Structure formats: C-alpha cells, structure tokens
Amino acid sequence: MKFDMNAVLRFAKDKWPVLAMGGAVLIAAPASFYFSTEWRQQQIEEFNKRVSNDRKDLTSARVTYTIQPLDPSKPAAEFPWAPNAELNEWFRARRAEQMAGAESLVKAARDFNIGPAGLRSDASGKVTPLVPDLFPAPSEAGRQIQPREMARVYLTEAHAPLLKQINAGGPPSPESVTQRVSDRSVELTRAKLGPARAGSALTAEEFADVTRQLTNFRVELYKRRALDLGVYADERLFGLPAFTDTLEPSLAECWQWQRAFWVQQDVIRAVGLANAGSTGGVTGAVVKRLERVLVVDGSSSDRPAGGGPAGDVGGVTDAAAGATTTLGVEAPRNPAFSVTGRVGGAGNGLYDVALVDVVAVVSSKNLPKLIDALGRTNFITVLDMDIYAVDIAAELQQGYFYGDEHVVRVSMRLETIWLHDWTLPLMPAPVRNRLGLPAPTPESPATPAN
C-alpha cells in the first residue's frame, strides 16, 4: 500500500483541534503528577510541623499534681501530667478526703487529750478548770481573790476526790492495831489461865501460842483492810506544799498547778484502769500501792510543779531553747532530751510536755497492764523505769498486805503531752508570752467542736 502524505496532512488540517487537545493531555499528565506529588509532600511536612508544635505546647503546659502527706517529714505524692479535667477532679476529691480525715484525726486527738466529759469539761464540752473564771485572766474584782482560791482548792481539796475514785486508802493506823491486838491478848490470856489460874503467868508454851495467835490476828487485820481497799495511797504522794492563808500565787503559778492537776488526774485514772476488773481488793490489784505522783517542770533542776518561784512556768525547758517552729508544722525534737525527743516550751507551737515521776508497788506479772493503761488514758509515754525488789516482811510490819503474788517496786518517769489546740485559749498571757505563742483568736476553740 502506498503511503499518502497529502492525505495525512489534509486529515490533520481538518482535525487539528482534537489533535491539539490530545497532545495537551499527554503533556499535562506527567506535569500534573509531578506537581501533585510535591504539593502532597508540602502538606505532610506542614502537618508534621503542626503536630510537633502542638506536642511542644502540651509539654510546656504540663503540671504536677500533688498530695501533701499528713506527716511533714514524709515526701509529697507527685504526678506530673498535662492538664486534665478528670485528673483535676480526682486529685481534688483525694485532697478533700485527706483534709476530712486530718480534721477528724485532730478532733479525736483533742478529745482524747481533754478526756471524757465530766473530767476536765462539762456536758457542753467547755473546759472547766479548778477555779472558774481564773484563766486566762481573772476579772478586776477577782484579781486578788481567785489566785488565793486556786491555792486553797489545789492544795487542800482537789486530790481527795481523785483518790476516792480508785478506792484508795492507807493501812490500819498503828494506834488502832495496837489497841485491838492488846484487847485480843487479854482475851487469849484469860482463856488460857481460866478462873482457877487467874492472876498467874502463862507458861512458856502458852506464851508462845498466844504470841503466834496475836501475830496471825495482826496479819488478819491488815488483810481485812486490804480487801476493803482498791489501792494503798494517800495525798502525801503528790508532794504538795503546805497551804497557808498568806499564799499569793502568781497567775503563772496557778496555771502550773492547774496543769499539774491534769497530769495527776490522768495518772490516777490509769491506775484505776489497770485495776479495773480485779477482785480481792489490794490483793488482786495490778497496782497495789501508789507511793509517788510528782509532777516536775521538765527543767534540769526537776523542781516539783508549783514549788518554784512565782514566775516559773512548767514545761519551759533548757532543751527547747533555740528551737524554732510555728503553729501547723512539725514539732521540734531533741534526742538528747529524752528517748522520744519531744520537747515542750519555747519553740513548740503544737504542744507542751509535762513530766511526772511515779513510784508504785505492782504485781510483777501484771506490770505490762499498768503500762498499757497509761497509754490508753492519754498521750503518756514511759521514758524511764527502774524495778526494785520489795521487802514483804518490812512492808507487812507497816500494815501493807499485798497478798500471795510476787510484787515489785517500780519507779517511772512519764512524759505527758498537752495540745495547745485546747489549752492555748485558757493559757495566761505571761505563760503564753514565755512560750512564744500567739494570742488565741476569737475562733480558737477551748474545747472540741461537736
């Protein structure tokens, strides 16, 4: 077949628009592919850039969620994370729970420290000192009268009811025992001699028998008294100074007496708690004889509470000097002061420390019950304890009958804690100033809220 170029040219001339458009398509397709790929790459890079920027923004907006511990010495719980509504609510709820628990714990501690209603507070929860309206300061009219009344009440009236609570008393008086033994001796002698030998002397054998019976009779008198009592004790164990009408105690000394009385209350309560449920009077008691409950001010001189100069304030210790703290933070500690390291006085805005020396004759096997009772009564810690043997024969000669179980004499130094949360509103200004404590605000409760 012969190729006709003229025919081709005529066809191209007639169809040139179609051919032109087809050529344009063929040329545009590769170019379009090239430019669309480049645009896509630009879009991807732009997107990655925005993501990177958003990630940086999120990282820079990161917060640390924190829950502070109730114990200031422990680290806080921290959770670094981006702001999150659910996390915000969760941590808010946990903090609210923690605050409610802390407030409940503080109230429980305050209630425990004050003691049950009727002990140091009335039915409404108001703390009731020994002398009403004396603390923190008496009225102008009572400025001279009420401190003297405090001396009279504390030194002559306050402690007998404490001892009555634990059914305390002394052995039979030597005079009464001597009289009763003498009367019994006459009866036994007459019975031995009879009418026929009236006025004669007893034989050696008869005298020995009478002597034996009189010894048993004397012991029986001591035993009967022991069965009637809960514990041997009298007011001398408190080491109180003598009261005179000329006493003019300062307000600081009145406060010292008041706090000493609270300490004495708790020791007596602990003895009652340890002896609760026992039978047989003294013979079945854990604490059989209470010989000393002496509150000391905690200083190096260990002066009895109330026995120092009028301006002396119990609980202000040399060990506390230089300590710094404020209300609401961890209390200072000094391990050189005691095994607990707790110190009261200047620098401690949370509590004061009162020390008390206790000496008692105790059932040796039940001594742990006394230590447990102290801790169940209040914030009381045994700092030191010495144990001594008891001369039973010598004790019996003085009228103290302890029964058959083994006993020991224990000498303990106790640490007691008194929270400023309820004592501060009652504290006289001279005491408060020396302790470096702020004046109580009108909202400061003197008693736990109901």
Amino acid in the structure at residue 179: Q
CA separation, residue 440 to residues 127, 327, 330, 404 (Å): 15, 12, 20, 55
User: Which tokens go with 145?
Assistant: 């009268």
Please give the average per-residue pLDDT across 344-348, as a whole number: 84
pLDDT tens digits, one per residue of 401-411? 999 999 999 99
Q: How many helices (H) does the chain have, and how many strands (E)? A: 12, 8
Domain ranges across the chain: 5-51, 65-110, 119-169+236-435, 171-228
pLDDT tens digits, one per residue of 210-246? 999 999 999 999 999 999 999 999 999 999 999 999 9
Please give the average per-residue pLDDT across 182-194, as a whole number: 93
Residue 158 has pLDDT above 90, yes or no: yes
SS3 assignment for 246-295: CCCCCHHHHHHHHHHHHHHHHHHHHHHHHHCCCCCHHHHCCEEEEEEEEE
Angstrom distance (rounded) from CA 351 to CA 433: 15
pLDDT tens digits, one per residue of 102-129? 888 889 999 999 999 999 999 888 999 9
Average pLDDT score, the chain:
84
Residue 327 has pLDDT above 70, yes or no: no
Question: How many CB atoms are closer than 10 A to CB 23?
Answer: 10
Residue 36 has pLDDT above 70, yes or no: no
319 close to 340: Cβ distance less than 8 angstroms = no
More confident residue, 339 or 330: 339
Whole-number pLDDT of residue 407: 98
Whole-number pLDDT of residue 204: 94
Angstrom distance (rounded) from CA 241 to CA 252: 17
Beta bridge partners of 352: 418
SS3 assignment for 312-351: CCCCCCHHHCCCCCCCCCCCCECCCCCCCCECCCCCCCCE
CA separation, residue 32 to residues 18, 27, 36, 43 (Å): 20, 9, 6, 16
Q: What confidence tier does 328 reach under pLDDT thresholds 50, 70, 90? A: very low
Q: What confidence tier does 56 reach under pLDDT thresholds 50, 70, 90? A: low
User: Which tokens go with 173?
Assistant: 């008086």
Sequence-distant (6+) residues with CB within 8 A of 307 are 239, 241
Question: How many CB atoms are closer than 10 A to CB 188?
Answer: 18
Q: What percent of the chain has pLDDT over 70?
A: 80
Please give the average per-residue pLDDT across 332-347, as a whole number: 88
Q: What confidence tier does 322 reach under pLDDT thresholds 50, 70, 90? A: very low
